[in-house]
Structure 1
């Protein structure tokens, strides 16, 4: 990334956008590394049912604290194959996402690089791009999703703790789920505070509570995907 992009990154702003004309990809199906970093990198998953000649939906999937790309791909792989969704799962530059450690910057730049690689290689439907995450990744998805609403039409936050947008762009639809017995990020001080604020701000929010802890049930994943595609 050029130095001219760094001020935008410090505000959490992503610059990459889908190519208006992209060549059909000949990339192999399944999961493969991004090959953008020698240490913490990430992965790209190409679904088994993808038609490379048609614009595909894309989910940018963000792991929780201490996590890796495969955790989010494993969570989303079933719906991705069923609906032909490409999954981009970048890894944070440190143990968790930059804003949680003090401010936007390194992770925004890395996600931008990863997005640009996907947009260069694959035909992506600009109306079907979502950012999703679990735990710290959900907090980050909410934050950069609200900042970059012109890119992300949908935000999916599984058990978020907070949100920290530097600005708000457009009105992405939002899906939030949380377990009522979550002891890691207790629901009363997290989603039950976030959701009313988002609704008050005018966002279209689908909020689902479930019996359970700091997990993502399969039926919750399926509901989130249906909302994304519907």
Structure 2
């Protein structure tokens, strides 16, 4: 038994860093996808991830002790997803539509994270990966996370059906959640053709590090009901109410944010007269002044709105965000507008810290 446990420990020692390195590559690629730089990006990947294949094969070939079978399953599942993403990304330029192939490749990041996350409470490198860089040195936070691993009603879960169900949502509640005090809520909306199951991982690291409940709904259709905002709006409101009923949510600190179509729907849903969100933060979103003309002026007065956009956005030009900032400010909203010089039409995860500083008043 000791020999097999030693072999399993050695396999874990090889596989964990290889998986985390592959995830870092996929995360970097997702942030920097751009039609003009795609060829250079895929070429720069080179041999990154070269340790993953051998480590994965060794883990598959090993006879793991029965007690470590769940660990094996998590690691192998994460490694397989990450390896698939790297292989698809490295061959994206050979596809008929290289950019679409690259976007498809980086989607493997989410299932890899989903498979790996159950080990965050037990393997230090994994736990650190799912924290912001600053939080990795927060001994009190790390102690809180270690004190109650797997506490009922915390961690990642699905509501409204299995993960990815249309009209459902993925939810993260910090493992150190205490119902005795209200917690900030982040509602994060995916882009077109995405789902909340995947988009959750764009925000989990920050929510886990800074003590926020995170809700990532999935649109009822292929994308958000932009032509009929009431359809998805009513469903999101229902999901938020379900979370507030089950956990302690601070009604004065509720952030609605989203990427691309999700950012556009953040305008449509978040600016509505009945919306309960204290802050709205659209990212890489489309905007039309009619969104303001049909909004209750009282809702806009003083409403904090943080507009983020990339200067290299090829889908929605940066002028879209400039116009949104001007129109909303003229209507009385408290607008903050930032353009990121090297960002194309991608999610800038590094900006989450600034969004949360603004939202939480840090």
Select the structure of larger CA radius of gyration: 2
Partner deviation per Cα, 1:68-115 (whole Å, 9 max, x = no partner): 1133311111110111100111111111111x2x22232122112211
Find the counterpart in structure 1 of residue 328 from structure 2. 198
Question: For residues 114-125 of structure 1, what are the structure 2 equivalents within 5 Å?
Answer: 114-125=239-250
Determine whether 1:107 maps to 2:221.
no
Q: Which has the higher strand share?
A: 1
Q: Which moved more, 1:157-166 or 1:76-85?
A: 157-166
SS of equivalent residue, structure 2 residue 203: helix
TM-score in terms of structure 1 length: 0.81
Write the distance in 1 (CA, Å) between the matches of 2:197 and 2:317: 25
Determine whether 1:93 maps to 2:220.
yes
Give the alignment partner of residue 271 of structure 2, picking from 124, 146, 155.
Answer: 146
Question: For residues 203-218 of structure 1, what are the structure 2 equivalents within 5 Å?
Answer: 203-211=333-341, 212-218=343-349
Give the alignment partner of residue 186 of structure 2, picking from 59, 63, 68.
Answer: 59
Find the counterpart in structure 2 of residue 84 from structure 1. 211
Which structure has the higher relative contact order (CA within 8 Å, separation 6+)?
A: 1
Structure 1: unaligned runs, 5 residues or longer: 1-25
Question: For residues 1-230 of structure 1, what are the structure 2 equivalents within 5 Å?
Answer: 27-36=152-161, 39-40=165-166, 41-98=168-225, 100=226, 102-148=227-273, 151-162=276-287, 164=291, 166-168=294-296, 169-170=299-300, 171-188=302-319, 190-211=320-341, 212-230=343-361
Write the distance in 2 (CA, Å) between the matches of 1:186 and 1:215: 13
Deviation at 1:218, TM superposition (A): 2.9
User: Do the aligned partners of residues 150 and 54 (structure 1) sit closer, same or farther apart at CA in structure 2, a change above 3 Å counting?
Assistant: same
Q: Which moved more, 1:41-50 or 1:58-67?
A: 41-50
What is the Cα-based RMSD across aligned positions, in Å? 2.0
Write the distance in 2 (CA, Å) between the matches of 1:34 and 1:229: 26
Write the distance in 1 (CA, Å) between the matches of 2:273 and 2:206: 24
Count of matched residue pairs: 202
Contact 1:152/1:172 (CA < 8 Å) preserved in 2? no
Deviation at 1:161, TM superposition (A): 0.6
Q: Which has the higher helix share?
A: 2
Contact 1:44/1:89 (CA < 8 Å) preserved in 2? yes
TM-score in terms of structure 2 length: 0.53
Structure 2: unaligned runs, 5 residues or longer: 1-150
User: Do the aligned partners of residues 28 and 70 (structure 1) sit closer, same or farther apart at CA in structure 2, a change above 3 Å counting?
Assistant: same
